[in-house]
Chains A and B, each alone.
Chain A
Amino acid sequence: MDLSSIRKLITRYCTGEESWVDSRTVYIGQKEPPPGTEAYIPQRFPDNRIVSSKYTFWNFIPKNLFEQFRRIANFYFLIIFLVQLIIDTPTSPTTSGLPLFFVITVTAIKQGYEDWIRHKADNAINQCPVHIIQHGKVVRKQSQKLRVGDIVQVKENETFPCDLILLSTSREDGTCFVTTASLDGESSHKTYYAVQDTKAFNTAEEVDTLHATIECEQPQPDLYKFVGRINIYLDRDEPIVRPLGSENLLLRGATLKNTEYIHAVAIYTGMETKMALNYQSKSQKRSAVEKSMNAYLIVYLCILISKALINTVLKYAWQANPNRDEPWYNQKTETERQRHVLIRAFTDFLAFMVLFNYIIPVSMYVTVEMQKFLGSYFILWDDDMFDEELGEGPLVNTSDLNEELGQVEYVFTDKTGTLTENNMELRECCVDGHVYVPHAICNGQILPGATGMDMIDSSPGVDGKEREELFFRALCLCHTVQVKEEETVDGIKRGIHQGKSTSFYISSSPDEVALVEGMKRLGFTYLRLKDSHMEILNREDEMERFELLEVLNFDSVRRRMSVIVRSSSGDYYLFCKGADSSVFPRVVSGKVEQVRARVEHNAVEGLRTLCVAYKKLTHEEYEETCHLLNRAKLALQDRDKKLAEAYDVIEKDFILLGATAVEDRLQDKAADTIESLHKAGMKVWVLTGDKMETAAATCYASKLFHRNTQILELTTKRTEEQSLHDVLFDLSRTVLRQHGSMTRDTFSGLSGDYQDYGLIIDGATLSAVLKPTQEVTSNGGNYKEIFLEICRNCSAVLCCRMAPLQKAQIVKMIKASKERPITLAIGDGANDVSMILEAHVGIGIMGKEGRQAARNSDYAITKFKHLKKMLLVHGHYYYIRIAELVQYFFYKNVCFIFPQFLYQFFCGFSQQPLYDTAYLTLYNISFTSLPILLYSLMEQHINMDILKRDPTLYRDIAKNSLLRWPTFIYWTFLGVFDAVVFFFGAFFLFDNTTFTSNGQMFGNWTFGTLVFTVLVFTVTLKLALDTHYWTWINHFVIWGSLLFYVIFSLLWGGIIWPFLNYQRMYYVFMQMLSSGPAWLSIILLIIVSLLPDVVKKVLCRALWPTTTERIQTKRQCLTAEQSTIFMLSQTSSSVSF
């Protein structure tokens, strides 16, 4: 062990890297490090095979079955099926086996097909050729054979095969351009940097001579985080250590652009690449309807078990008399007799379970899934939500939440890009209180002098002139904008020089582009970054070059960014731009008051403001800064924290230059949408990172706050004056007093003029509120409760200065509050992703800030205004459709099974099924399945135009109102009533007499068939009564399925089926139909079963109509009017709307 390794150990120890196992060492080119440096422990890394498929050929069947039976419903049906196979049960195993088999097979085929597609895609990726440098030569290899440590050569427009550390590029400055369009949807070109000390290794031979190791963290899924370091062994003993960051890391899936070729070393391969780690599916969201469905299921399971239990007990009570248990005409087999009584009782219980198991139908799950899947197409197809500009319509990433769109109570919306266009334009800039407004139109000529701008205030003096130019230069230098180059060699120069837009700026932040473009109009044109020099064309058309030394990147916590440059004259400058709150405290001189006044004025106007400041550095100061930054950058652990600390030290003692104001226009119809959402009973919260004044202005403009809204402020400014405790109590008193007087008003009938509250809270105060308080306040309840209480009484809330995670926190807090409201989050940027994932429904806007939000959302739309149709029309429809679907399914199965239960009392509790096996099997599969599926796809209880025009209708379905317990109980009782009618109707008809004209008798199968016929007709007609929207498809399916039942029954009873071992249904249906009283009783029983529901509907509509019903009646009256007095009413009715 020599000195260097000891030293290494010491450094390692000093930097506090205890958990060394969390990093990996990569030997570039698979070469061992110089002997003696450290014991060579070969680490094992996976190969570069991407496996997105779930199954292989061999494990498909077992694994897929296992996955499917993990669903509780499928497992239940499997158990029923197995019970039927094992014990002697009333119905043959096919009755439950066939539907289950069908469901499982269809699902397996679907999943198998999807997996096959994935296999094909995987193979295509895994086998595509990559170029690897081996022994100084370029070798072609299959992508899957790539190993960690291989040096890869990637050419322009190729996709990176794994996560790579950039060693060298064809460009002299060691940079390359990359688009990550397939990773996060951002099509802008991002610059990546080669390691300074390896960028010279340009050719294959040279790269092969490189001797270095890379130490880096183990793979983690965050796309934008990476820490590591490279040890380069040159001839000397000491390796050169350089930091590696995400700017050196090329991610798998990204594409090389504008660079001829690069050499890079593989560090994460295959399933360990960041892209693969991000494959993991999002957590499953479940809708409120699904939750009620599961609650119903449990109720029905209890009903099922108690039915079976009651019957078992009664059976043994009844057959205590041996002549009943085993009369001479019906004896048991010897084995049956010898069975222990407990075993017999248990098998009897299971047999009853099997007999009644249809009450929880397999087909409901299938139908619900199909309804959701097919129903989501209506969103995709919607022409109103199609955006002509983008050429794209909405996206549905999950269809599980369709109905949740109709249940939203809280809407959390981002401001920038969601409420506003995110189409930025520099409005004005203010230098020391002088305001400059750039011309809106650039006339294509650069005129000498300062005519490119208007001066509102008097012309500044010489000193002012200098400051002004410094301000413009600062804005030209302090950014991360790239220039999109033309293909022609001198294209960019000519393009920019002539003022034509042949080249344009690209940045991840539209504000920066707006600023740089604004500067161009004010005479300072940023040309490009070349060899670490930023080139600017100033007003005199002279080229100025600044060496770019450091970039202190923007982050949402600091809310500012800085650059350190060296001018051609050798001066060091630090330019900083950022939010006023993060810049002003760090300013030591400058005309702070004037600028602050202007910034506040602009913010109220709804403009986005940024402050610009600078400081001059001496050479020593610069050296120190460099040292500070490098130390932070070199750290392997907690690098971010250390960097933040370093930034904090560096960015201070500024001299304020001025401020800018960028306008972000409100989106089309944003105000109208927000108003509609309000009317629909939703609470709209705006969560933004913007400053309070700007955000408040946007809120006023978008009608979130009205003129007469009383604004409650819960901001740092207020909490500085009073304690948070007092402020909170103050506010809650205000709100609650209002609340109290309001209830009194409603008694006196004067609730018209109640005060509307709006709350504004900022990030800092929010985190103080959410912080768990140790001291419990005097009247119990902590801050969070009080805060929630205030929020509950405010119609609109604005949260400004929010960090992305805080957005999610707010959503989480509201989600967890005691009413458990349904939340919806909508946003367009990466900073909204956490909130989108947290909310019950996440909606992404396909906007300018990339596709991250859209990718992580449940639904993606192109414009905020489409939210209105999405919720008020689609959400409303989906909800009423699925609510009916769920209730109806339970209803029809109660109708189906309850007669069987009643029949047990008349057949000695012997589990004799009432219906034939074919009817038991097909009832849910084919006789009654299609009408409800079609209903749940097509139903429109109210025209969509009315739904859109009258948002208050949305309140009618709020709080899951169609699936509450009273409704559920009503449906269940309706089902029981109908079942009783069917059974006893048939019972009295059969009671000890004949009803044929030839005196012949009918048997038990005719009895069952009669009940079943009435049943099929009743449940189908019940649905017909509920249908408000009869298209030809509904007619076809409803009457078609009834016809199908009749035809099937005729066929089923019409032939001696050779493959069956029983012929009990032979001619039963036809014999039944040949009898007049059978017809009469079928008609009678159907009418009696439907009667109570019709009466209930009519009475409710006449006596206690809901808003929905009123609208329906009103529309009906109007159409009736229209048809009678056609000519006259045409004009008047159109007026009345």
Chain B
Amino acid sequence: IMASSYGAKEEDGHHPGSAGLGGAAIRTKKPDNTAFKQQRLPAWQPILTAGTVLPAFFIIGLIFIPIGIGLYVTSNNIKEFELDYTGTDMSSPCFNCSQSWNSTNTCKCELFFSLDQPFESNVFMYYGLSNFYQNHRRYVKSRDDSQLNGDERSLKEPSKECEPYRTNENKPIAPCGAIANSMFNDTLDLFYIDPNGKKRPISLTKKGIAWWTDKHVKFRNPGGSNSNLTTVFKDTAKPVNWHKPVYELDVDIENNGFINEDFIVWMRTAALPTFRKLYRIIQKNNDMTPTLPRGNYSLAVTYNYPVRSFEGRKRMILSTISWMGGKNPFLGIAYITVGSICFFLGVVLLFIHHKYGNRNNSSDIAS
């Protein structure tokens, strides 16, 4: 029981003595007798004792354990498939591509894999990079948000933060900065291999992979209503590592230039050196068949992105999503653990409360 004593002090808040005596001169100097000034505001005075904390511990335990179990089960039901296609192994089909890196001719490789279980509902396709420090300070700040927001002046005169990816051959780079320059440019295509060996491409949606607010507010093409991006970006240079300029990222005008969703996704720098980014969404079929049925698949990779120099890895991840996101048993386990600890502490405290709490109180009151 949280013992409370609201208003217990109000009775002695006004004490006699202020009445009578003294002339006007004295009155003026005398402080007024408000509860606040006398530090006698009515107050709730809770104390943390074994008795008061006990129920809280049991309640936390009782609430957390079911939540944890729920989370754990949900996480376990999520299906996830991960495929490393870096190609460091001699046996890997992408070994050749990974060894040589020239930007002129594209290198392609194909990996085969099979799914043991069907993936229901929408399937999300990610690419993952390891040992890639997108959160390095020099990297994180190397961008110009006003340029990306369509500001004409920043387009001509990018921010100093973009150095050394600010200008190329005296032309301003658009989009400037290290982040944009190092945009992930592998192309991943997914094929379902029929039981009879026929390759069928799986349609990948590239809409809705970036935050809605990023795509519609934070990132904007310069030139306003001018839909001809070629003229808008006329006086700018492409980032040095890019194969094509920013206005050729996509044919779709709604997904071209700065508002290209792949670009936006890349521009949101990851928190940790091992990260994944949403690449494509495989929409579920309208019929009852699973989105990705059990069977064999192949991943066709256009291998452009070098990671060997910094010992990085590249992965392709297929995952279904629940209300709590991707597969992550951490939260469920944590909830179960904390709930159990609270419950256990509750029992310990109950013991202590019975053994010591009563003794203390009774002896004190007696004394």
User: Which residues of the partner chain A approach B335 to less than 8 Å between Cβ atoms?
Assistant: 1080, 1084
Q: In this assembly, does A1004 line the interface, its C-beta being within 8 Å of a C-beta of chain B?
A: yes
Q: Mark A367-393, 1 if CB is under 8 A from B, else 0.
A: 000000000011011110010100111
User: Which residues of the partner chain B approach A382 to less than 8 Å between Cβ atoms?
Assistant: 31, 38
B364-A386 in contact (CB<8A): no
A990-B271 in contact (CB<8A): yes
Q: In this assembly, does B202 line the interface, its C-beta being within 8 Å of a C-beta of chain A?
A: no
User: Which residues of the partner chain B approach A381 to less than 8 Å between Cβ atoms?
Assistant: 31, 37-38
B338-A997 in contact (CB<8A): no
Q: In this assembly, does B276 line the interface, its C-beta being within 8 Å of a C-beta of chain A?
A: yes
User: Which residues of the partner chain B approach A995 to less than 8 Å between Cβ atoms?
Assistant: 324-326, 328
Complex: how many Å from CA A1097 to CA B269? 42
Known contacts being A386-B31, A1029-B45, is A998 close to B53, with CB within 8 Å? no
Complex: how many Å from CA A1088 to CA B337? 10
Complex: how many Å from CA A971 to CA B44? 26
| B window 175-217: CB within 8 A of A | 178, 181-182, 208-211, 213-214, 217
Q: In this assembly, does B10 line the interface, its C-beta being within 8 Å of a C-beta of chain A?
A: no
Complex: how many Å from CA A392 to CA B209? 74
Which of B18-26, B91-99, B292-300 contacts its partner? B18-26
Partner of B136, one of A386, A907, A938, A1116: A907
Q: Interface residues of B toward A: which range?
A: 35 or more
Q: In this assembly, does A1067 line the interface, its C-beta being within 8 Å of a C-beta of chain B?
A: yes
| A window 813-853: CB within 8 A of B | none
Partner of A1119, one of B5, B71, B210: B5
B45-A383 in contact (CB<8A): no
| A window 887-940: CB within 8 A of B | 906-908, 910-913, 938, 940
B22 closest partner in A (C-beta): A388
Q: In this assembly, does B49 line the interface, its C-beta being within 8 Å of a C-beta of chain A?
A: yes
| A window 784-804: CB within 8 A of B | none
Partner of B3, one of A378, A940, A1110, A1116: A1116
Least CB distance, B165 to chain A, in whole angstroms: 8
B38-A1114 in contact (CB<8A): no
A1117-B30 in contact (CB<8A): no
User: Which residues of the partner chain B approach A1105 to less than 8 Å between Cβ atoms?
Assistant: 360
User: Which residues of the partner chain B approach A330 to less than 8 Å between Cβ atoms?
Assistant: 133, 136, 138-139, 142, 178, 182
| B window 202-244: CB within 8 A of A | 208-211, 213-214, 217-218
| B window 26-66: CB within 8 A of A | 26, 29-31, 33, 37-50, 53, 60, 64
User: Which residues of the partner chain B approach A1119 to less than 8 Å between Cβ atoms?
Assistant: 3-5, 8
User: Which residues of the partner chain A approach B67 to less than 8 Å between Cβ atoms?
Assistant: 1080
Q: In this assembly, does B81 line the interface, its C-beta being within 8 Å of a C-beta of chain A?
A: no
A333-B145 in contact (CB<8A): no
A323-B310 in contact (CB<8A): yes
Q: In this assembly, does B164 line the interface, its C-beta being within 8 Å of a C-beta of chain A?
A: yes
Q: In this assembly, does B277 line the interface, its C-beta being within 8 Å of a C-beta of chain A?
A: yes
A998-B321 in contact (CB<8A): yes
B48-A1098 in contact (CB<8A): yes
B31-A380 in contact (CB<8A): yes
User: Which residues of the partner chain B approach A1006 to less than 8 Å between Cβ atoms?
Assistant: 271
Q: In this assembly, does A1095 line the interface, its C-beta being within 8 Å of a C-beta of chain B?
A: yes
Known contacts being A1030-B43, A1087-B60, is A378 close to B270, with CB within 8 Å? no
Complex: how many Å from CA A1054 to CA B9? 46
User: Which residues of the partner chain B approach A380 to less than 8 Å between Cβ atoms?
Assistant: 31
B273-A906 in contact (CB<8A): yes
B211-A1067 in contact (CB<8A): yes
Partner of B364, one of A913, A1066, A1076, A1110: A1110
Complex: how many Å from CA A1000 to CA B274? 16
Known contacts being A912-B140, A1071-B211, is A1001 close to B182, with CB within 8 Å? no
Complex: how many Å from CA A377 to CA B349? 42
Complex: how many Å from CA A1117 to CA B52? 12
Q: In this assembly, does A460 line the interface, its C-beta being within 8 Å of a C-beta of chain B?
A: no
Q: In this assembly, does A332 line the interface, its C-beta being within 8 Å of a C-beta of chain B?
A: yes
Complex: how many Å from CA A1053 to CA B159? 22
Q: In this assembly, does A1101 line the interface, its C-beta being within 8 Å of a C-beta of chain B?
A: yes
Least CB distance, B191 to chain A, in whole angstroms: 21
B270-A1003 in contact (CB<8A): yes
User: Which residues of the partner chain B approach A1008 to less than 8 Å between Cβ atoms?
Assistant: 271
B43-A1029 in contact (CB<8A): yes
User: Which residues of the partner chain B approach A1095 to less than 8 Å between Cβ atoms?
Assistant: 345
User: Which residues of the partner chain A approach B44 to less than 8 Å between Cβ atoms?
Assistant: 1030
Partner of B325, one of A945, A994, A1062, A1136: A994
Complex: how many Å from CA A837 to CA B305? 77
Q: In this assembly, does B322 line the interface, its C-beta being within 8 Å of a C-beta of chain A?
A: yes
Complex: how many Å from CA A1099 to CA B360? 13
User: Which residues of the partner chain B approach A1114 to less than 8 Å between Cβ atoms?
Assistant: 361, 364-365
Least CB distance, B133 to chain A, in whole angstroms: 5
Known contacts being A383-B33, A1000-B278, is A333 close to B164, with CB within 8 Å? yes
Known contacts being A1084-B331, A1098-B53, is A333 close to B163, with CB within 8 Å? yes
B38-A383 in contact (CB<8A): yes
B331-A327 in contact (CB<8A): no
B137-A912 in contact (CB<8A): yes
B330-A1094 in contact (CB<8A): no
Complex: how many Å from CA A1047 to CA B79? 37
Q: Mark A1072-1112, 1 if CB is under 8 A from B, else 0.
A: 00011100110010011001001101110111010000101
User: Which residues of the partner chain B approach A1091 to less than 8 Å between Cβ atoms?
Assistant: 338, 341-342, 345
Complex: how many Å from CA A990 to CA B132? 16
B53 closest partner in A (C-beta): A1098
Complex: how many Å from CA A1091 to CA B208? 41
Q: In this assembly, does A219 line the interface, its C-beta being within 8 Å of a C-beta of chain B?
A: no
B361-A997 in contact (CB<8A): no
B272-A987 in contact (CB<8A): yes
A907-B135 in contact (CB<8A): yes
Q: In this assembly, does A42 line the interface, its C-beta being within 8 Å of a C-beta of chain B?
A: no
Least CB distance, A1003 to chain B, in whole angstroms: 4
Q: In this assembly, does A1002 line the interface, its C-beta being within 8 Å of a C-beta of chain B?
A: yes
User: Which residues of the partner chain A approach B60 to less than 8 Å between Cβ atoms?
Assistant: 1087
B49-A1101 in contact (CB<8A): yes
Partner of B265, one of A912, A938, A992, A1001: A1001
User: Which residues of the partner chain A approach B42 to less than 8 Å between Cβ atoms?
Assistant: 1031
Partner of A1028, one of B30, B45, B210, B365: B45
User: Which residues of the partner chain B approach A1136 to less than 8 Å between Cβ atoms?
Assistant: 365
Partner of B270, one of A383, A388, A911, A1004: A1004
Least CB distance, B311 to chain A, in whole angstroms: 8
Q: In this assembly, does A542 line the interface, its C-beta being within 8 Å of a C-beta of chain B?
A: no
Q: In this assembly, does A329 line the interface, its C-beta being within 8 Å of a C-beta of chain B?
A: yes
A1116-B47 in contact (CB<8A): yes
| A window 951-997: CB within 8 A of B | 985, 987-997
A328 closest partner in B (C-beta): B309
User: Which residues of the partner chain A approach B342 to less than 8 Å between Cβ atoms?
Assistant: 1087, 1091
A996-B37 in contact (CB<8A): no
Which of B110-118, B250-258, B350-358 contacts its partner? B350-358
User: Which residues of the partner chain B approach A56 to less than 8 Å between Cβ atoms?
Assistant: none
User: Which residues of the partner chain B approach A383 to less than 8 Å between Cβ atoms?
Assistant: 15, 17-18, 30-31, 33, 37-38
B46-A1028 in contact (CB<8A): yes
User: Which residues of the partner chain A approach B142 to less than 8 Å between Cβ atoms?
Assistant: 330
A1066-B213 in contact (CB<8A): yes
B276 closest partner in A (C-beta): A992
B9 closest partner in A (C-beta): A943
Complex: how many Å from CA A589 to CA B123? 121
Q: In this assembly, does B260 line the interface, its C-beta being within 8 Å of a C-beta of chain A?
A: no
* Interface contacts beyond A330-B139, A333-B163, A1080-B67: sample of 12 additional A-B pairs, CB < 8 Å, sorted by A: A333-B164, A383-B31, A910-B133, A989-B328, A992-B274, A1006-B271, A1025-B48, A1029-B43, A1060-B145, A1088-B338, A1098-B349, A1113-B360
A-B pairs with beta carbons under 8 Å apart, 18 shown: A90-B137, A328-B182, A330-B139, A383-B33, A908-B136, A938-B41, A989-B328, A992-B272, A992-B276, A993-B276, A993-B325, A1000-B210, A1003-B268, A1003-B270, A1056-B218, A1091-B342, A1094-B48, A1102-B49
Closest 3 CB pairs of A and B: A329-B182, A995-B325, A1007-B271
